[in-house]
Structure 1
Amino acid sequence: MPDSPRVPPGSGVDPVDSLVQHATDNQVRRITLNRPEALNAITPDQRERIIQLLAEASADPGVRAVVLTGTGRGFCSGADLRGTASGADRVPGDVARTIRLGAQRLIASVLDCEKPVIAAVNGTAAGLGAHLAFACDLVLAAESARFIEVFVRRGLVPDGGGAYLLPRLIGLQRTKELMFFGDALTASDAERMGLVNRVVPDGELDKTARAWAERLATGPTRALALTKQLVNASLDSDRTTAFAAEAAAQEINMTTQDAREGVTSFVERRSPEYRGR
């Protein structure tokens, strides 16, 4: 699954493409953060490109799964805070607006992507970077990966949806422990707590992520999208609302070619061949 090469200045190609590499192969869109010297801290331009690429993946029938990963020792060390104003010139509302239009949009783009998104966490995932991983549908972590709720170390309140995501994944007390102390969490501890689906040796991360993504890419794409929507909304819904959404999703899905193929293949006692339509 080849990635976009680094683009020299003056080449006529948007240089952000060298910082957010992307390629599609076997119906899998691979998005790679490529600022290893900064542990893949995300700049505003990178953030906007990731949001764009995920939106394109949702709309493209040729993309049926997404892998999000990084290069070097970091998956993502959070938002790039260099150049952030000290606060002297801020107008009330500026910070909230920045978070709403920035970190929160990024996390929402993962949660709302209509294709399954796998995080292949190759190294440190801190702050917004940790939340970017936790927002993904499935999380694979290399043994060397670390997860850090780093905000308290900087005197900051968690953002990027952390206080929404983590209690739903691991409960209130565990979330408070991570956010109050800001200690690094090993990959194995993250797996034990339920933040990671599987930990693999560093050298097997890419292979495992590809295998999982390609398996998803051969599945019933619309059924997976509807399933993702149902599960993500479930903890914010009462039973009546959740049951109504489930029935509506089933109604919609039964109009797809893949649903018909699934039923037909069962009756005919053969393996289904899903087309993502």
Structure 2
Amino acid sequence: MSLPNLTKELIYTYENGVATLALNRPEKLNACTTSMYDGIARVAEEVRDNDEIKVLIITGVGKGFCSGSDAEERLAARKKVQSRSRKELIHPLGYSAIPLYTLSKPTIAAINGICVGSGLSIALLCDIRIASDRARFGALWIKRGLIPDLGATYLLPQTVGLDRALELAITGDLVDAHRAEEMGLVTRVVPHDVLMDAANELARKIASGPSVAVELTKRGMYRGLTSDYASQLDFETYAQNMCFQTEDFKESIVAFREKRKPRFQGK
């Protein structure tokens, strides 16, 4: 299935509860255009609203995951004399990332190659990052006299710690996949040829689980980053009471008594 009027620079499909979004500008190492950023936001909203979808994978076509923003296209848009739209005037610079960041369903970045600039931000917006052993990472904005954007000033320190985030961001140095794994930038590294197999295997495992509990678990973990212990206990009470009402919880009790694996339906 595809979304109506989605740019050809993005390929969106879903099957058996797993949605896949592929950045599709291989000749530019998937450098993002404005229409791609807008499309990523649309896809995140579709995944959010479609009950058949349980998890989203983001990857790139060709040799790169994403080489950042397409500088020529983005600069050309800024130089236009015509008046800018209301959205361009008042929305934050990374407005298109908000639907992906707030998505309560799990997201997996399958990082197949170069992942720099806003491409790094897109990877950081995902909950789990599986990298090919050919992947390379960099916060390259500083080499253009710019600061990290698309939320990277928040996401990168949260992921690797303030000291390592600063080292990456103020030097613009590239790191390979294994160094990225050591510093916590990626969840794990796999051989390049099995990257999508690994991502899909994990996605299918998540999709077969109890969807309500999965989403509430993600929501709780992210709340915990900025919350306190007592508030988290309140959230857990609220969320657990919701889980007790689901068909999946009831199925798990029956399956336990019958000594079999539960067959979750996501309800």
- One fold, TM greater than 0.5? yes
Which whole-Å CA distance do the structure 2 matches of 1:120 and 1:213 have between them?
A: 11
Q: Judging changes above 3 Å, is the alpha-carbon distance between structure 1 residues 40 and 126 closer, same or farther for their aligned structure 2 residues?
A: same
Match of 1:145 among 135, 156, 164: 135
1:87 shift after superposition: 7.6
Matches within 5 A, 1:1-277: 14=5, 16=7, 18-83=8-73, 84=75, 100-106=91-97, 108-277=98-267
Letter in 2 for 1:117: T
Aligned-pair identity in percent equals 36
How many correspondences in the alignment? 261
User: Helix, strand or coil: the match of 2:53?
Assistant: coil
Q: Is the 8 A contact 2:63 2:112 kept in 1?
A: yes
Instruction: Give the TM-score normalised by the residue count of structure 2.
Output: 0.90
Deviations 1:34-89 (A, max 9, x none): 00111111111111111111111122121111110001111011122214169889
Amino acid at match of 1:217: A
Is there any run of 5+ residues in structure 1 with no aligned partner, and where? 5-12
SS in 1 for 2:22: strand
Aligned 8 A contact 2:6 2:39 in 1: no
How far residue 263 of structure 1 moved from its aligned partner, in angstroms, is 2.8
Partner of 1:8: none
How far 1:102 moved relative to its partner? Answer: 4.6
- Aligned CA distance change for structure 1 residues 97 and 263 (closer, same or farther; 3 Å): farther
Give TM-score, length-normalised by structure 1.
0.87
Distance 1:41 1:241, change over 3 A: same
Q: CA deviation at 1:101?
A: 4.0
Aligned CA distance change for structure 1 residues 19 and 51 (closer, same or farther; 3 Å): same
Residues 241/97 of structure 1: CA separation in 2 closer, same or farther (3 Å cut)? farther
Q: CA deviation at 1:104?
A: 4.2
CA distance in 1, matches of 2:23, 2:77: 27
CA contact under 8 A between 1:104 and 1:161: conserved in structure 2?
A: no
CA contact (8 A) 2:38 2:96 kept: no
